[in-house]
Every structure is written in C-alpha cells, then in structure tokens.
Amino acid sequence: MADETLKVGIISCSGEEIPEGTISRLATRRVLELLRAGQTVTLCLPLFLAGGEGERAFAREHPTIAVDGCGKLCAKRGTEMHSGPVSASIVVSEILGDCPSGCGRSTKGTTDADKEAIWVVSERIAAEVDAILSSSTDCCTSDGDDNASCACSKPLPGMQIEVNGRPVTIAGLGLIFDHLAENGLEADDACGDKLLETVRIYHDIRPSEEQGYRSALVSAYKAYRR
Amino acid sequence: MTTNGETARVLVIPCSGIGKVHGLISREATYEITDNLAQANADTMCLALLVMGDEEALSKIRSSHCITIDGCPKYCAQKNVELAGGQVAESIMVAEAFKNHRGAQPGTATKLTEDGWLVVREIAEGLSDRVQDLCGCEGEH
C-alpha cells in the first residue's frame, strides 16, 4: 500500500575541510534519524551533483532544504542548478558564528561544543521541516518505492521492542540509548523511568501502556549495553 | 608534483556519503591521515566544492596527487576527482576493507563503534604509507 506521506528532502554539504561540514552532516543525520524520522529523506550531495536523472529528480519530487557549512553554498547552488529551487537554505556558519572554533572535524572525541552545535543546527532544520509540511497541501508526495532517493539515503530503521507481546518499532532508539549511556544511565532495573521519559518525547506512549513500555525498554537497554 | 618548486601535499578526498556507515568511515579515515598519520604531507578538500567547479579547488586538484576513499561502488569521490582533471594515484572502497572483518559491526552513518574505528585505522595506516611513497617519489625525480 502506498504511503502518501509528504517527505522533505535534506541535502547537506558535508564539507570535509571545516568543522561546519561535519556539523551540517551530523545535524542532518539527527533530523533524519530522530527529530523527523519518516518525514525526511536525503541524498549524498556528490552523488546528486554528479548523478543521473534519478538523482536530479530529487528536488523536483521533494521540497528540499539545503544545509551548507559555509557561505560558498555548494548544497544550495548545486541543488538549484540541477534540480530546482530549494524550499529553505540553512548556513551553519551564519547560525553559529564563531562557535565552531571549539568544534572538530572528526567525530572522534566529540566535545560538548560539538554536541551543542549539532543540536542547535538540527533544531533549525527540524523547524524548517515543520514549516514546509504545515504549509504544504497537495505538492509532492512519495510512495513506499521512492525513486528520487538512493537506496542508502533512507532514514535508519528504528529498533524493534516487544510491548505486551506486540512488536513496536521506535525510530532512533539506538541513538536515544547512546545518548543516555553517554550521560551515565546505568543498565539496571532502575533505569525504566528515565528511558520512558526520554523515549516518549519522540514516540507516542499512552498512559495505559506505560508499564509495558517501561519493562520492554529496560530489557532492550540492558541487551543494547551488554 | 610541485607548486612553485615545493612538493604539493597529497590530497585525500573521501566521499563522505551521508546514507551509510561506509561514508563516515571514509571521512574519518581521511582525518586520521590528514590530522595524525601524515599531517605534514596530506590535506583534504571539500568534494562538493570541487564538483561545483570552484576555480581554486580545480587548480589545487590538478597540481596534486590525489587519493580517494569511497564508501560505495558509485565511486563518487574517484569519478569527480577524475572529471575535474585530477590524477588519482590511489583509490579505495571502504567495503573492501571489511573482507578481513567478516561480521564486524562498524556502527552507523552517525557514530562508529570500536569495530568501525578499527577499520578506519587500517585504511588510514595503509593510505598514509602511500602518501609517504608519493611524497618520497617526488623527491627522487
């Protein structure tokens, strides 16, 4: 059955030379995996720029947000040159100003400054996604077999847990677990409330299902940390 | 290759593919070379800037030896460097590096695991040797 959900395309510059490129790449991933999973798709910029008609159709079939690290605007200019106008343009250096001076290009040894920068930029992207979706009526829709994005550009699938005997997929659950582990959450029987509190930000949990979710999340978190 | 009589740094250019862990591995292997293992002799360049035809980037790529690291068989980095007139002295695909690591769980497009960093180090060590070869060869000519 076709999924008639409108999806917003996000094209990130990923500029290798500067920390802002890493921030744009990771902020885009955060939106795809966690903040707006299922509502967004992406495509590798070099593939888009050098690709064929399938790739070039991307911005024609999706309202697209360009995320650039610097004022050279490779993602925005490239998209508009080959595919059509972008719906929004985000420039990391304009949002963060001098802040990336404390950030690194590598994800090795990610600092609080890196995390903060990624957080700020990803929230901006998510806000633009919301604005586009709320202003859209019948423009581009995509079905389950999305020809305008490459196979590797789909959002990461969520992690499946079993709640009261029923399989439930939670988008970005691995990232949530990573985040909580980094913040010192022990994988023991006392972690249930914190897991529930965090997961419900991104995933609807009805009050009647809280206990089932709590116990399933504790089991999944223990297995994940093992 | 030389610029104004000085040996140009070898340019290491990853695809940085955003969809899979292989893109992140290509990117991190590049930084391991340019920031650690061959800091004095290697540099990187924004692939998108090159593809967009930036004059400075084109000039630099045409006067340097290039090493490309691609995440997938589309070889975006290698193809785009060649299209820009660059000489690719070495091209590798990340998936090849996994042949010696059957069953490895390298992480995601966002974050690498220990397995992922192990592959990064192996790729980077192999290519940093190649960087030194390229620089050494120039000295002998």
Question: CB–CB of A47 and B13 under 8 A?
Answer: no
Task: Quote the pLDDT of residue A137.
Answer: 55
* Complex prediction ipTM: 0.90
B123: part of which helix (H) or strand (E)?
A: helix B114-140
pLDDT at A192 over 60: yes
Q: Among partner residues A16, A77, A78, which is closest to B14 by beta-carbon distance?
A: A16
Task: Quote the pLDDT of residue B7.
Answer: 63
Q: What is the pLDDT of residues A84-117, one digit of tens each?
A: 889 999 999 999 987 777 899 999 988 999 999 9
Query: What is the distance in angstroms between the Cα of B16 and the nearest Cα belonging to chain A?
Result: 7
Residue of A25, A40, A44 best to disrupt the B interface, most CBs of B under 10 A: A44
For A20-27, what is the mean pLDDT? Answer: 96
Query: What is the distance in angstroms between the Cα of A207 and the nearest Cα belonging to chain B?
Result: 32
Backbone phi, psi, residue A142, to 5°: -130, 145
Question: CB–CB of A16 and B47 under 8 A?
Answer: yes
Task: Quote the pLDDT of residue A43.
Answer: 85
Entry field: residues in chain B: 141
**Strand-by-strand arrangement of the B10-14 sheet:** B42-44, B10-14, B65-70, B87-93
**Token pair of A223 as six digits:** 């297995």
Compute mean pLDDT per 10 residues along chain B, 141 residues long, and list them: 65 94 96 96 95 93 96 91 94 90 91 96 96 72 36
**Token pair of A149 as six digits:** 């994005």
Q: What confidence category does residue A25 fall into, taking pLDDT thresholds of 50, 70 and 90?
A: very high
